Amino acid sequence: MAETPAKPLIQPEDICSPEWAEWYRLTPAERWAQSEKLWAIYLELGGSLDPEPDTQSPFFDANAPGAGITDGRSSLRVLRRSGI
């Protein structure tokens, strides 16, 4: 009985970019370690882990006090355009 030829496996590069293919080839433990590094960078750049408010939720309260400003300064700055 003749063996059937093996079907070629789909390579990640066939369906995604090389960057994603590299990610898919990592083991779950390696992906976890890389994700930890990415979260650390995100937080160093000023990212926040606070959830975005869900305005569609029946429990959303627009008048509820927020987390506030972390650095004590307002997030908007007024620029004067006059020649004073």
pLDDT digits (tens, 9 = 90+) for 23-35: 999 999 999 999 9
In a domain, 37, yes or no: yes
Q: How far are the Cα atoms of 27, 45, 50, 75 from residue 38, in angstroms, in the given order?
A: 16, 11, 17, 25
Residues of the chain with pLDDT under 70: 1-2, 66-84
How much is the pLDDT for 8? 73
Residue 22 within a domain? yes
pLDDT of residue 49: 86
In terms of residue numbers, what domain contains 32?
A: 18-44
pLDDT for 10 equals 87
For residues 16 and 24, the answer to whether their CB atoms sit within 8 Å is yes
For the chain, how many structural domains are there in total?
1
- What 3 state SS string does the chain have? CCCCCCCCCCCHHHHCCHHHHHHHHCCHHHHHHHHHHHHHHHHHCCCCCCCCCCCCCCCCCCCCCCCCCCCCCCCCCCCCCCCC
Q: Is position 10 within any domain?
A: no
| Exposed e or buried b per residue across 55-75, where buried means at least 16 C-beta atoms within 10 angstroms of its C-beta | eeeeeeeeeeeeeeeeeeeee
The structure's pTM equals 0.50
